[in-house]
Amino acid sequence: MSSNIRSLSLALAMFAVPTAAFAQIGISITIAPPELPVYEQPVIPGDGYLWTPGYWAYGDDGYFWVPGTWVQPPSVGVLWTPGYWGWSNGNYAFNQGYWGPHIGFYGGVNYGYGYGGDGYSGGRWNNGSFAYNRAVNNVNISSIHNTYNETVVNNTAVNRVSFNGGSGGISARPTAAQETFAHENHVAPTSAQTQHEQTARANPAQRDSVNHGHPAVTATARPGDFKASGAAEAKAGTENKAGEANKAAAENKAGAENKAAAENKAATENKATAENKAAQENKATAENKAGVENKAAAENKATAENKVQARKPAAAQHPARTAQAHAPAAPARTVQRSAPKPEAAPRPQAQARPQPAPRPQAQARPQAPARPQAQERPQAQARAQPAAQQHEGGGQEHEHH
């Protein structure tokens, strides 16, 4: 109870100060706030609302999440500078947010949806009405017509750190212009914003000790509407619709999925490449084998044909030369065939023939050149002459006796 009274007294003291000297320093503790949760911005409920990002506040039960919400500004022409936790003198002190003509320093914290750590890119005042940047905000253009589309380049490091300074905190420092904006007349949070924070404080599901950095409600369409259809639950690792850089978890998840998909794709492509390569090599091997076999078959066929051609008779290959070849060959064959015949020796028994004289007429037969076989017959004369000589010699011997 005493703690609640102390917190309430501190809050009343903060809101009781004059607007021009609005106190920014709130409660300070030694424990750093949790990381910012990832969530989707609800659709704007109507024209004239401005977006105020969610933040971690501190109560009797520790840190609790105050959902981001669409709020109607206290007056035309003012903008909302979010609060932030900053490290100072060994403690984390909360610097309360405020309304003013310019966006001041909010610790370099990347709250998203136009609050990238420096200034605001979600919209601007234009002749008394607020124009919304569709590239940043979730705007229904069928009901909100004062819009524009401008790409936002965020130079702030992508992270979910919710505090400035200290160990692990953001190292951003106010610029000269932001130092000047800090001395302008500021307006405290509206009553709707204060009630919105009190509703979050009373909800145990919003406490970090219960949700461990994942509050039940992360954003609402209107202040205090925690159960409305436009209330957004924590979606760690989900990319918000506006595509702000504070969705580090979503990008990491998407990167991991893309990496896994790329690896799977690479593995599939490598497998397909290997299979195609193997198929091509097998095809090439088969073609080479077939070529070798065909070549061998052709060579074998040619060899066989050449062999058959070589075995053909000489007369079939060269008819014109056959006659010439036979002419000189006949006498040689006759001599070779007659030489081994031992039967020729007994023929001298023809001595009994008394008339050997007519035999020499066979000498005229060699005149026929077309009949090579006739050349064999002179041998008969040679054979007959010894017989005659023997007969004549015998006669001489007979007479001698």
**pLDDT confidence tier of residue 381, bands split at 50, 70 and 90:** very low
* Closest CA relative to residue 220, chosen from 71, 47, 81, 111: 71
Strand 91-95 and strand 98-100: the pairing is unpaired
Please report the pLDDT score of residue 291 as a whole number: 56
CB atoms within 10 A of CB 109: 28
Residue 109 phi, psi (nearest 5): -75, 130
* Closest CA relative to residue 242, chosen from 253, 252, 250: 250
pLDDT in tens, 81-96: 999 999 988 999 999 9
Strand 84-88 and strand 91-95: the pairing is antiparallel
- The predicted model gives 244-265 an average pLDDT of 51
- Tell me the C-alpha distance between 78 and 376, whole Å: 146
- Name the residue with higher pLDDT: 22 or 369: 369
Residue 265 clears pLDDT 90, i.e. is over it: no
- The predicted model gives 240-260 an average pLDDT of 47
Burial bucket for residue 392 (CB in 10 Å: 0-12, 13-18, 19+)? exposed
For the record, the structure tokens of 70 come out as: 């669409």
- The predicted model gives 156-179 an average pLDDT of 90
**pLDDT confidence tier of residue 369, bands split at 50, 70 and 90:** low
pLDDT in tens, 115-164: 999 999 999 999 999 999 999 999 999 999 999 999 987 665 568 999 99
Please report the pLDDT score of residue 227 as a whole number: 85
